[in-house]
Amino acid sequence: MSRPRFQPRRRALMLAAAAACALPALPALAADTIKIGLITALSGQSARAGESLTRGMAIAIDEINAKGGLLGGRKLELVRRDDEGNPAKGVLAARELIYKEKVAVLFGGLDTPVSMAIVPIANQEKVPFMGPWAAGTPITRNGANPNYAFRVSAVDEVVDKAMLQYAQKTFGASKAGLILVNNPWGESNEKGIVAALAAKGMKPAGIEKFEANDVDVVPQLGRLKAAGADVLLMVGNVGPSAQVVKSLDRMGWKVPVVSHWGPAGGRFTELAGPNARNVHFVQTYSFFGAQTPVSTRVVSALKAKYSDIKGPDDITPAVGVANAYDATQLAALAIAKAGSTKGEAVREGFYKIDRYEGLIKTYIKPFTPQMHDALSENDYVWAQFIDNRIVPVESKQVASK
């Protein structure tokens, strides 16, 4: 009796199976990276600030990957999208990063209106959102339960108290005039400043708004001057803040300007002219002065990675680099504590962080279910532009004004 012959197809399948069994395990592919998303302004007047966020995140990611990554050797990967300061474009970018790129943590960028448009999506899809810049109070205090929005940045209602205190202490101000961008960020600060004044039994001399594309703010400033304002509390990003300064020049009105940190986000000195230096604005960090081992390490890494950085003068705006660096490290710790990239677990991981020696400060239990903002009023410094550099305001500079 003759032996049955193997059919060619059957023989091929058996050979393929044997070969598969003999193959060694494949190494982890790029798809196994843990993606961290960033949505921010990467073009336009605030592009410099968007780049500073990128650099802070990149340095932190390099450090984490050099130590072996997370969750058994998975490397972090930064995925960026340009929102152009437009909430609608920010929403589109958020959907792509969440659904297609499947980011583990989504970083928001510069503009409060953009972040406020993205946060509801993050909460709905259970993807942790981290804010390294936008300061609108409702970003983290958004009423959601559970709340997936965290922040390492300034918070409007805290900054507003600090702005008023600084204006009174530094300039002896008693009649504050408010000049605010007409958007949700301006609304957030109007509420905060009015509350800060009311807490001291005061009212604003006047409240004026301007549009983001206004090129002349003289009418609004004229009304504040007529009302007797002896200081301006300003809230606006680079372009409109520069127009306020230029409008003051046209009026010949030399009034102190105490600002939120909008002017730090880009080409403020170029757009505002020489009187840009008269604006004092809040920051969360400066690379000038005495440095810590962490800051020394970060500056060295920045110099090595970016050819245009020779020293602290070139790290601008410093607040973007510092906030983004610390925020990325804290997000990585949350993933490590979670032991997973699942959104619910990472959210709980933020609450499990006990201590982190960061760039801005040493964080002790930075997040709780009741508090999603890692920085407080004790973490603010005041700065101004000197020769196109953001430097801390020194007492002798203040006294000379």
- pLDDT by residue (tens digit) across 96-117? 999 999 999 999 978 899 999 9
- pLDDT by residue (tens digit) across 237-294? 888 899 999 999 999 999 999 999 888 866 788 888 889 999 999 999 989 878 899 9
> Is residue 395 scored above 50 in pLDDT?
no
- pLDDT by residue (tens digit) across 33-44? 999 999 999 998
**Average pLDDT for residues 391-396, to the nearest whole number?**
67
Is there a domain that residue 18 lies in? no
Shared-domain flag, residues 256 and 179: yes
Shared-domain flag, residues 112 and 248: no
Shared-domain flag, residues 168 and 263: yes
pLDDT of 22 reads: 43
> What helix, strand, coil percent values describe the chain, rounded to 5?
50, 15, 35
CATH at residue 98:
3.40.50.2300
pLDDT-based confidence at residue 30 (cuts at 50, 70, 90): very low
**Average pLDDT for residues 24-36, to the nearest whole number?**
64
pLDDT of 7 reads: 52
Percentage above 90 pLDDT, the chain = 73
Q: Structural domain of residue 78, as residue ranges?
A: 30-154+290-370
Write down the residue that tokens 């410094």 correspond to: 381
End-to-end C-alpha distance for the chain, whole angstroms: 111
More confident residue, 282 or 18: 282
Shared-domain flag, residues 145 and 165: no
**Average pLDDT for residues 39-61, to the nearest whole number?**
93
pLDDT of 110 reads: 86
Query: Does residue 171 sit in helix, strand or coil?
Result: helix
Counting the structural domains of the chain, the total is 2
**Average pLDDT for residues 388-395, to the nearest whole number?**
76
Is there a domain that residue 325 lies in? yes
Shared-domain flag, residues 386 and 263: yes
Shared-domain flag, residues 53 and 91: yes
Is there a domain that residue 336 lies in? yes
**Which strand (E) or helix (H) includes residue 243?**
helix 238-251
Query: Does residue 120 sit in helix, strand or coil?
Result: helix
Q: What is the pTM assigned to this prediction?
A: 0.82
